[in-house]
Amino acid sequence: MHDPAACAWLALAAACAFAGMGWLALAMPVHAQQAWGTVPARRQLRRLRRLGAAAVLLALPCTLGSDHASMAVLVWVMLLAAAALATALLLARGARAMRWLAPWVRPG
């Protein structure tokens, strides 16, 4: 894959997958507690959940822009797995580092 446009679509898909998995993780009260020291309001957790779902779904059309459909779906699933692993490792290493994904959240 040497097409610059395909590479750009793939990079955007990877960013969407990682952000989506991070937002979904931060929407869980346990991980929110780890990241901010307290659990944000339910409204903020719901917003994080919606953003996470939207970003994960947005990664699919981005992969479709990079390759044909059968390969794009496979790449999307692999990106989601890699993003989930990266999110889990980041949460295990230092959950406070995840706060940059949601700077608008004001816990308390």
Residue 102: inside a domain, yes or no? no
Report pLDDT for 74.
Answer: 95
DSSP for the chain reads ---HHHHHHHHHHHHHHHHHHHHHHHTSHHHHHHHHSSPPPHHHHHHHHHHHHHHHHHHHHHHHTTS-HHHHHHHHHHHHHHHHHHHHHHHHHHGGGGGGG-TT----
* Distance between CA atoms of residues 61 and 57, nearest Å: 8
Supply the pTM of this predicted model: 0.91
Report pLDDT for 66.
Answer: 86
Residue 105: inside a domain, yes or no? no
State the 10-residue block means of pLDDT for the chain, 108 residues long.
84 97 96 93 95 97 91 95 96 91 85
Report pLDDT for 106.
Answer: 83
Residue 8: inside a domain, yes or no? yes
Report pLDDT for 14.
Answer: 97
Please give the residue range of the domain that contains residue 72: 4-97
Report pLDDT for 1.
Answer: 52
Residue 27: inside a domain, yes or no? yes
Report pLDDT for 49.
Answer: 97
Q: How many domains does the chain have?
A: 1
